[in-house]
Amino acid sequence: AGKRKRAALGPGRAKRPRGGPGAAEAEVEAAPAPAPQEGSGAPQEYSIPPPVSQGKWKNKERVLIFSSRGINFRTRHLMQDLRTLMPHSKADTKMDRKDQLFVINEVCEMKNCNKCIFFEAKKKQDLYMWLSNTPQGPSAKFLVQNVHTLAELKMTGNCLRGSRPLLSFDPIFDKEPHYALLKELFIQIFSTPQYHPKSQPFVDHIFTFTVTDERIWFRNYQIIEEDASLVEIGPRFVLNLIKIFQGSFGGPTLYENPHYQSPNMHRRLIRLSVAAKFREKQHVKEVQMEKKKASKVLVKEDPTEVVFETPAEEKPVEIQLVKPESKPIVKDKKKLRKIQRKKQKKLFRTE
């Protein structure tokens, strides 16, 4: 069968382009204008609503979030929660413990990231967090404590996935120089860039950084529109600052926390306190035993004590010439009773 010949396009029709950026515009231009309503002078035209965000994505901050081998399940869930809350983050496979930390700069370069959050696990119980501006620096090392994830807390708050957060800082971040440096590092890492492709154009939650007890407390709250109150979402954790380095994952030390105590030292002090309590108890027992021994004083013999002693009566000595009968050894009590009854019957008959 022969192919149908296309009918010639009429004067009112326009050819629809297959693809390209100008396809939608061509459709709008080619679409016929609607019939004017009765009573209206000018004809009605179609209008396309503008996009939600018309700006350009200029701040190209990308954060690489990954960890070393040997982390537990709570750290893995915390890492996944941070990736969910930060749409400008990227993931990577776990790093081997034998590799040096400066290798992370090359990993960030391959992933096209200029910021990094690295979780380092030691002894399967201590968790350290590195925040770094790669590859120039600076970088900060923290000890992570009191970790609670989104699934663990079961908070009532909720937020849109990919929405941009507000960052709230304690007033002490503007007073101390090392806290001011950390504030700038937190802003560049945790704030979602404007007009990011994966982000939503809404602000419905807030990250708070509070300094209490020489530690930084991280919290995530939902902003309720009705009364602007805050409801905690999670996750939550506490950062204990160890050192701030000039370079990325190393270099000269800019600040060292004098209040920091390593987990190994903390556990050692706990063991020493338990041992001190045990030694104190043993010392108390020894003192009590010495007191008991010292209280016993030897008293001299009293010569008048013999006055009240009366001699016992002397019994005549009986010499037994006949060997006594051996008693049968019976383990069963019932058999022993039967034997005793038989002996009693024999004696009764002889009598």
* Predicted confidence (pLDDT) per residue in 121-143, tens digit: 998 889 999 999 988 989 999 99
Please, which residues bridge with residue 122 across strands? 126
* Tens-level pLDDT at each residue, the chain (351 residues): 445 444 444 444 445 555 444 444 444 444 444 444 544 555 567 776 655 556 788 888 999 999 999 899 999 999 999 999 999 999 999 998 888 898 999 999 999 999 999 999 998 889 999 999 988 989 999 999 999 998 887 777 888 888 999 999 999 999 999 999 999 999 999 999 988 888 888 889 999 999 999 999 999 999 988 788 899 998 999 999 999 999 999 999 999 999 999 999 999 999 999 999 999 999 999 999 888 887 666 677 878 887 878 877 888 888 888 888 877 665 677 777 888 888 888 887 776
Q: What does the block give as tokens for 124?
A: 């399967």
**φ/ψ (deg, to 5) at 81:** -65, -40
197, 307, 342, 343 from 349: Cα distances, Å: 120, 55, 11, 10
106, 120, 128, 190, 239 from 131: Cα distances, Å: 16, 11, 10, 11, 11
Domain ranges in the chain are 63-265
Radius of gyration of the chain (CA): 45
SS3 labels along 114-176 = CEEEEEEEECCCEEEEEEEECCCCCEEEEEEEEEECHHHHCCCCCCCCCEEEEEEECHHHHCC
The model carries a pTM of: 0.66
Superfamily per CATH, domain 63-265: Brix domain (3.40.50.10480)
Distance, CA of 9 to CA of 101 (rounded, Å): 68
Which of 109, 105, 164 shows the shortest CA–CA distance to 118?
Answer: 105
